[in-house]
A and B are shown apart, each in its own frame.
Chain A
Amino acid sequence: MAITIDEAVPGPATDDAPPARRRGGRGRMVVEVLLLTALAVAMLFPVLWMLETSIKENRDVYAVPAKFFGFDLTLDHYKDVFVARGGGRSDLSGSFLNSVVVAGASTVLATVLGVPAAWAYSRFTLKAKKDQLFFILSTRFMPPVVVVIPIFLMYRTLGLIDTKLGLVLIYAAFNVPFTIWMMKGFVDEVPAEYEDAAMLDGYTRLQAFWRVTLPLLVPGIAATAVFALIFSWNEFVFAVFLTSSQEVRTAPPAIAGLIGGTTVDWGLVAASAVVFAVPVLVFAYLVRKHLVAGVTLGAVRR
């Protein structure tokens, strides 16, 4: 299931470990640093370019050749993201609000369902436990375009098409496997002896879980929930096929919709993309310690 990387390797020891650097000589180090810088620039350039576009005057946005410096600054694009042309709230800001509601609610649901299940999988001997866990993870690998066809028909029958509830349910289902795998790792780290001791003191198993283990799991739950939040926030395929009205539409399809017309207001696209991405980056920074586990759906831990 999961691989654990031994963290016992002392940090400082690895830091001054490679004597090769000294032996390899200065030239080589310079080359390595230059290479790393070049790669970092290549990786970050698109992000910086988008930031720059979002604060450029329109005529500079479409300037040929592109203006890297010396453009006129404006915050109009950001204003357009939130305020409609004629005053009042813009459609995009409504979509952002929908995204907050849908991502938040689905994360809560996935956490409430996933955490107890993870605890049970960690603590009890169950029939075909490994198979169950693998089954759970494999549902996460289904191609969304394929799943969306029967889900679409199912929702149409149930009247869940174009409702926030429909999106919340599918996102929760999509985050539960992740929550279980990720949380099982955290539960495994809490010694079961704590619960045994509590049970000797007269607690029931349930009370031991609730009073002893759960409080210790809070940091893990927070990290897991943040990842679930990011996944739901970024999700596009289900959002675009299962919703259509302005009242329900979340931000990803709304932003993608900005490029549908004949002329594209790239300044607005850039500004809304930045507004959309900033919360994700902030949250990702908060859970940076758990990134390896988070992005592999809890399969690889360090």
Chain B
Amino acid sequence: MTTTTDHPVQEASAAPPPAPGRSPRLTDRRLALVFISPAMLLLLTMSVFPLLWALYLSFTDYSATRDAPADFVGLGNYTTILTSPEVWQRALTTLVYVTGAVALQTVLGFGIAYLISRRARGRGVLTTLFLVPMMLSPVVVGLFWKFMLDAQFGVINSMLGSLGLGQVEWLTRQRTALLSLIVVDTWQWTPFIMLIALAGLTAVPAYLYEAASIDRASEWFRFRHITLPLVWPLLLIAVMFRAIEAFRLFDLVYILTSGGPGVSTETLSFHVYKVAFLGFNTGLASAYGILMVLVVIVLAQIYLRYLNKLKEG
């Protein structure tokens, strides 16, 4: 979606005054309507309508398994959620998870991209190899790692054992479970940051480096004042994108730990699932959902605004 090709079109069709009587713009508008409305209709029925329904349910005590009609409870569900220490606990878990995973991915991803960009040969092969984890389904990734982290016959513990280190119950100990989750997510999504950082790094014009080396700028200076400022905007896009995705994460938790042990890896997404599909407290779960959607909307707005600014700037 480049601005360069976008504008001449509109100007070309807008510049000459429309011929009186048979305006071609009218048919264009109708055509646009015909082309856009089916897609919009699908989005409205499958995304917007369900969300409005959830909004309505969030003010009731409706339960999906009870036949009784829903009673209106006002803001009851919301006050229950916002005053419950349980929810704040889950929010904290989610925050730790999102921050930890995204920070690790960013550092590693950018590092790998930087190293790859400095190689003259084999860039394509290297990039392709590094990208494999990202293309896999979270289900496959979750299962891979569940097997590898298994306390008895997992390969990770086996390797630790041959190094003379003790066995770790990765997924069944309070302390290590969240860490394991962060590690697995990092394994899968580091390539994402790498890919985008690499796109930024390869786009840095070579003449800037040449000029800097003529001026005898130090390596660090070049990195700090040429590479980073040029890659930063793109990297930030990648980070925000990942943060939104990590906030929504459900499948990895479901497969790796099911929120356990205890509730130590229960993220907000997983908690919503438990309330909705195990507790069948649909009204309350909807309220949770609406609050989560609000968070996502805020994050997405920041992301999109920034994307827009970047495009115009």
Chain A positions within 8 Å of B, measured between CB atoms, are 1-7, 9-10, 13-21, 24, 32-33, 35-36, 39-40, 43-44, 46-47, 49-50, 53, 61-66, 113-114, 116-117, 119-126, 130, 134, 136-139, 141-147, 149-154, 156, 169-170, 172-174, 176-177, 180-181, 184-185, 188-189, 191-193, 196, 204-206, 230, 233-237, 240-241, 252-253, 255-256, 259, 266, 269-270, 273, 276-277, 280-281, 284-285, 288, 291-292, 295-296, 298-302
Chain A residues closer than 8 Å to B22, beta-carbon distance: none
CB of A5 within 8 A of CB of B250, answer no
Which residues of A lie under 8 Å from residue B140 when comparing CB positions?
Answer: 255, 273, 276-277
CA distance A208 to B256 in the complex (A): 52
How far, in whole Å, are A120 and B30 apart by their CA atoms in the complex? Answer: 10
Residues on the B chain within 8 Å of A113, using CB: 38-39, 42
Q: Is the interface of B mostly helix, strand, loop or mixed?
A: helix
Q: Is the CB of B297 within 8 A of A146?
A: no
Q: Interface 1/0s, chain B 263-304, versus A by CB < 8 A?
A: 000000110110011000010011011101100110111001
Please measure, in the bound complex, the distance between the C-alpha atom of A46 and the C-alpha atom of B250, giving whole angstroms. 21
Q: Which single member of B130, B131, B138, B213 contacts A19 (CB below 8 Å)?
A: B213
15 additional A-B residue pairs with CB within 8 Å, beyond A9-B204, A180-B39, A256-B255? A5-B200, A7-B203, A36-B116, A39-B111, A63-B153, A113-B42, A126-B32, A142-B248, A143-B269, A145-B250, A149-B276, A150-B53, A185-B2, A292-B196, A299-B307
CB-CB under 8 A for A136 and B115, given A149-B289, A150-B57: no
Q: Does B137 contact A (CB under 8 A)?
A: yes
A contact residues around B152 at 8 Å (CB): 64
Asked if B82 is at the interface (CB within 8 A of a chain A CB), the reply is no
B32: which of A24, A124, A252 is its contact (CB, 8 Å)? A124
| CB-CB nearest in chain A for B130 | A43
Q: Determine the residue in chain A with the shortest Cβ distance to B305.
A: A134
Given contacts A172-B42, A302-B199, whether A296 and B241 have CB atoms under 8 Å apart is yes
Q: Which B residue's beta carbon lies closest to that of A152?
A: B64
Residues of B within 8 A of A47 (CB): 132-133, 136, 144
A149 touches B54 (CB 8 A): yes
Residues of B in contact with A (beta carbons under 8 Å apart): 1-2, 4-6, 8-10, 12-14, 24, 27-29, 31-32, 35-36, 38-40, 42-43, 45-51, 53-54, 57, 64, 108, 111-112, 115-116, 118-120, 126, 128-140, 142-148, 152-153, 155, 158-159, 161-162, 187, 190-192, 195-196, 199-200, 202-206, 209-210, 213, 219, 222, 233-234, 237-238, 241, 244, 247-248, 250-251, 254-255, 269-270, 272-273, 276-277, 282, 285-286, 288-290, 292-293, 296-297, 299-301, 304, 307-308, 310-311
Per a CB cutoff under 8 Å, which of B5, B108, B132 touches A191? B5
Q: Which of B39, B250, B276 contacts A117 (CB 8 A)?
A: B39
Contacts of A36 in B (CB 8 A): 112, 115-116, 119, 126
Set of chain A residues within 8 Å of B14, measured between Cβ atoms: 125
Whether the pair A39, B112 counts as a contact (CB closer than 8 A) is yes
Tell me, in angstroms, the Cα distance from A284 to B191 when the chains sit together.
Answer: 13
A9: which of B12, B203, B244 is its contact (CB, 8 Å)? Answer: B203
Please, could you name 20 A-B residue pairs with CB atoms under 8 Å apart, sorted by A? A5-B199, A19-B213, A33-B119, A44-B132, A64-B153, A66-B159, A120-B31, A124-B31, A130-B308, A139-B48, A141-B300, A145-B250, A149-B276, A153-B57, A154-B50, A185-B2, A256-B255, A277-B136, A300-B196, A302-B203
Give 7 nearest A-B pairs by CB, closest first: A173-B46, A146-B289, A150-B50, A234-B137, A2-B1, A192-B9, A116-B35
Could you say which of A18, A114, A170, A205 has the most chain B C-beta atoms within 10 Å of its C-beta?
Answer: A18
Chain A residues near B31 (CB-CB < 8 A): 120, 124, 205-206
Given A3-B307, A14-B206, A130-B308; A147-B219 close (CB under 8 Å): no
Q: In the complex, which of the residues A40, A151, A292 contacts B46, with contact meaning CB atoms closer than 8 Å?
A: A151
Residues of A within 8 A of B6 (CB): 122, 188
Complex-state Cα separation, A111 to B300, whole angstroms: 24
Describe A's contact surface by its main secondary structure: helix
Quick check: B138 and A236 within 8 Å, CB to CB? yes
CB within 8 A of A43: which of B27, B132, B282, B288? Answer: B132
Residues of A within 8 Å of B136, CB to CB, are: 47, 234, 277, 280-281
State whether A43 touches B191 (Cβ < 8 A).
yes
Q: Which residues of A contact B289 (CB under 8 A)?
A: 143, 145-147, 149
Residues of the B chain whose Cβ atoms lie less than 8 Å from the Cβ of A300? 196, 199, 234, 237
Number of A-B contacts (CB under 8 A): 333
Determine whether the beta carbon of A24 is less than 8 Å from that of B304: no
Q: Which residues in B have their C-beta under 8 angstroms from that of A141? A: 244, 248, 296-297, 299-300
Interface centre among A40, A145, A169 (most CB of B within 10 A): A145
Residue of A nearest to B154 (CB): A66
- Chain A residues in 8 Å Cβ range of B307: 1-3, 299
Verify B118–A21 contact, CB threshold 8 A: yes
Are A1 and B155 in contact, CB atoms less than 8 angstroms apart?
Answer: no
B112 touches A18 (CB 8 A): no
- How far apart are the CA atoms of A130 and B309 in the complex, in Å? 13
Given contacts A36-B112, A62-B153, contact A137 B304 (CB under 8 A): yes
- Contact between chains at A142 and B36 (CB < 8 Å): no
Contacts A5-B199, A277-B137, A285-B128 given; does A138 touch B300 at CB 8 Å: yes
Which of the residues B10, B139, B219 comes within 8 Å of A24, measured between beta carbons? B219
Is B138 a contact of A292 with CB atoms below 8 Å? Answer: no
